[in-house]
Amino acid sequence: MTGTALRLHDVAFTYPDGRRALHDVELTVERGERVAVLGPNGAGKTTLVLTFNGILVPQHGSVHVGDLAVERANLREIRRRVGIVFQDPDDQLFMPTVREDVAFGPANLGHRGAELDAGVAEALAVVGMTEVADRSPHHLSFGERRRVALATVLAMDPDVLVLDEPSSNLDPVARRELAEIVAALDITVVLVTHDLPYAWQLCRRAVVLDGGTVVADGPIDDVLADTAMMAAHRLELPYGFAVPHR
């Protein structure tokens, strides 16, 4: 798996109320990389990842997914290539059954019949949710709903998987199960999180965003060990957690 998965050049974004969320962002993610996007509240992390698939369009700069520019004419393919699992799974689950939710995206791409059924079955199997295919997603636990939300994205066969605060509100077992699923995926991953141990567990590179600007980018072990930089940008490892050697 070689080549560039994501490339952002000189990206700037300002909300209609005048709040500048991104400023001169340069970022390249190679295929197969697992990158944690870290930063304090209001740093611009969610805004950043929403530019990856055109949900937000920068006022300045460019975003490419592989060789394809993120622009109106390409949005259908861009949104297949970049799948975002939002922090609240209920933002992505709206059909009567789990199976229908997972089938919704591929069906909109024109998949039908046996092809659609096979894709849905594979995505549910990957996240360990085959047995709940005919249940209402809203009768599942929060952790189960998050795994179904992940399946809805995987069913689109994306090139890049974006996870927004994936460990939030999960109990320890659900947190571990989700990490094991993500670790087993053969896909480019961008992980937005405040959970620094989770970021260290799943990623080998960290990008720190603050004030809408990239302030650090490098191996996650080095980033988390830079106590001065971490403190300057309101990042703090949990009490008792030391970055292990690997």
* pLDDT one-digit tens code per residue, 37-57: 999 999 999 999 999 999 999
Q: What is the mean pLDDT of residues 163-174?
A: 94
Question: Rounded to the nearest 10 degrees, how much is the dihedral formed by the CA atoms of 180, 182, 184, 187?
Answer: -170
The single-letter code of the amino acid at 168 is: S
| Run of H or E residues at 105 | helix 98-108
Residue 244 has pLDDT above 80, yes or no: no
Residue 95: predicted pLDDT: 95
In degrees, rounded to 5, the angle at the alpha carbon of residue 163 between the alpha carbons of residues 161 and 166 is 145
What is the bridge-based pairing of β-strands 60-65 and 68-69?
Answer: antiparallel
pLDDT confidence bin for 220, thresholds 50/70/90: very high
Q: Mean pLDDT in the chain?
A: 95
Q: Which residues, including other chains, have CB under 8 Å from residue 164's CB and lie 6 or more apart?
A: 46, 49, 84, 85, 86, 87, 192
- 52-109, pLDDT tens digit by residue? 999 999 999 999 999 999 999 999 999 999 999 999 999 999 999 999 999 999 998 8
Q: Which CATH superfamily is domain 4-232 in?
A: P-loop containing nucleotide triphosphate hydrolases (3.40.50.300)
Which pLDDT belongs to residue 36? 98
Q: Give pLDDT tens digits for 108-157.
A: 888 899 999 999 999 999 999 999 999 999 999 999 999 999 999 999 99
User: Closest by alpha carbon to 206, among 49, 46, 36?
Assistant: 36
Cβ–Cβ < 8 Å for 9, 199? no
Is the full-model pTM beyond 0.75? yes
Token pair recorded at residue 31: 């295929």
- pLDDT value for 2: 72
Instruction: State residue 208's pLDDT score.
Output: 98
Evaluate if residue 243 carries a pLDDT over 90.
Answer: no
* Burial call 222-245: b when 16+ CB within 10 Å, e when fewer: ebbebeebbeebebeeeeeeeeee
Q: Which two tokens stand for residue 64?
A: 């490419």
What's the pLDDT at 1? 62
Q: Where are the beta strands (DSSP E) in 156-204?
A: 160-164, 188-192
d(CA 236, CA 214): 18
